[in-house]
Amino acid sequence: MRIVLIAHYYPPINSSGAKRAESLSKYFTALGHEVTVLTTRKSRVDGEFTEPVPKGVRLIELDWAGREAPSVEAEGAFEPMYAGAPSWKRRLKDRVMAALGQIPDPRLPFALAFLSPWFAKPAQEAILKSDIVVGTTPPWPMLFAAYLCKLRFGARCILDYRDHFSECHEMPGGRLAKWLEKIIDRRLANSADHVVCISDPMSHYYRSFTPNVQTILNGYDHEILDDARGVRVISKDGMVRIRYMGIVSPGRIPHNVLKALVELQAKQPDLFQRLRFEVFGAASPLQEILKTTYPEVSSAFSFFSPVRYLESLQKIVEADYLLFSETSSTNTLSAQGILPTKLFEYIGSGRPILGDISPDTLAGGLLQKCNNQHIVGQSSDLFLAVMSKTSFYERVPDNVSPLSASLSRKAQAQQYADLIQKIIFKH
């Protein structure tokens, strides 16, 4: 099959948001399919240039006018969310989004360029020859670009949702903006040949727009995890390293773990002194709350800049424990349906996980099903009891259960390819 992927988050930038499209393109190619990725021209503003394009994938980078334009690493500087004092550009963007939501996205000209008479010929040819076009969000203009491929070129298209576009619990926007987002989202989903979502609650939401919806989970790349295991160095200094990888937003602060640490520090300071919490990524909300609310345990935490993907996985498999914290809200389908890439990489590593999250959530329930070594709950007493045991300070072997092994990106790419074949045969 000839498959065209439209994605903003894609190598060379280092972003967890790029891993779904990157892995799909990698394993589609491994299955013998011809893959072309249409993506935005990147600069340092979009992220660090550290990740290679998968072998065999044809990459076409386009500027805002739809012309071929290679990414340029030398321009600008990346400013992640929750990275301390924001620049004036970040503050302006936040104010615009607070009022207008996601609609005035800076990648919108990229999508509109798919209608341009000057749209790059190689991109046009790839779309015209394709069996399917897959647009993946966020950001939402990638969905719009896939819709325009169907409108202009008659291409079959799948809209792939890693996050909600409309009614996303994590995204700002006024009431009018939220209303408009839902209208646009409904139109896009209705026009697609199929919609793919990363969780059942998200699929349930999009079935209110169209019946043609399938759940294909996020996952982990087992090949890169195996590479990381091959180069890991396990510390033997007697310290217990608990690692968190990625952005810490206000909704991801592990309050129950922090409360347990306060108690442990007061009651068993000798055990507390053996704990090292290492956070790799933008985490200013956590740093701030350690200063204001939990200062007595701040000495246990160290903060580091994000690292390239292979090194990130190496940090994961070297850790004694991994820390996972996510919203436990069930107020919206968006909140219920969160299954981030990091969760699957944690699961695939086989390392035990401290999950500061309700076991009744989708993510919490999955952690419990995958490995009985994971500690999952929303009680500080639970985490205190676990960290008070001397056995907690002894490293355990990796444990990748059969369920964990089934969550690989390779298996999900096969599931995706099967869906594409069904769509082609249907037409």
Domains of the chain in start order, with CATH, are: 2-218+408-426 (3.40.50.2000), 222-405 (3.40.50.2000)
pLDDT digits (tens, 9 = 90+) for 162-191: 989 998 877 778 888 899 999 999 999 999
Give the separation between CA 291 and CA 298, rounded to whole angstroms: 7
pTM of the model: 0.84
pLDDT value for 378: 92
DSSP 104-139: S-TTHHHHHGGG-TTS-HHHHHHHHH-SEEEEEESS
Cα–Cα distance measured from residue 184 to residue 108, given in angstroms and rounded to the nearest whole number? 13
For 177, the enclosing helix (H) or strand (E) is helix 175-191
pLDDT of residue 374: 95
Strands (E), 212-362: 213-215, 240-245, 275-280, 301-304, 321-325, 353-356
User: What is the enclosing helix (H) or strand (E) of 347?
Assistant: helix 341-349
- SS3 at position 381: helix
pLDDT given at position 140: 96
3-state secondary structure of 155: coil
The pLDDT, as a whole number, for residue 110 is 97
β-strands 275-280, 353-356: how paired?
A: unpaired
- Which pLDDT score is estimated for 398? 93
What's the CA gap between 10 and 37, in Å, rounded?
9
Phi, psi of 305 (to 5 degrees): -70, 160
14: tokens are: 């280092």
* Residue pair 5/134 in contact by the 8 Å Cβ criterion: yes
Closest CA relative to residue 37, chosen from 117, 161, 145, 113: 145
Q: How far is CA 143 from CA 34, 140, 192, in A?
A: 21, 5, 9
Task: State the pLDDT at residue 247.
Answer: 86
Q: Which two tokens stand for residue 362?
A: 């989708």
Q: Give pLDDT, residue 413.
A: 93
Q: Between 141-153 and 121-129, two packed helices, what is the crossing angle to 10 degrees?
A: 70
State which amino acid sits at residue 416. Answer: Y
Residue 44's pLDDT is what? 79
Q: Which residues of the chain are modeled with pLDDT < 50?
A: none
CA distances from 87 to 45, 47, 387 (A): 12, 16, 40
- pLDDT for residue 92: 76
- pLDDT of res. 169: 75
User: Would you call 117 exposed, middle or buried from its count of C-beta atoms within 10 A (0-12, 13-18, 19+)?
Assistant: exposed
User: CA-to-CA distance for 133 and 158, rounded, in angstroms?
Assistant: 6
What pLDDT does 81 receive?
58
Task: Please give the DSSP secondary-structure letter assigned to residue 326.
Answer: -
Q: How far apart are CA 323 and CA 243, in angstroms?
A: 6
Sheet of 240-245: strand order equals: 301-304, 275-280, 240-245, 321-325, 353-356, 375-377
Closest CA to 109 of 8, 30, 210: 8
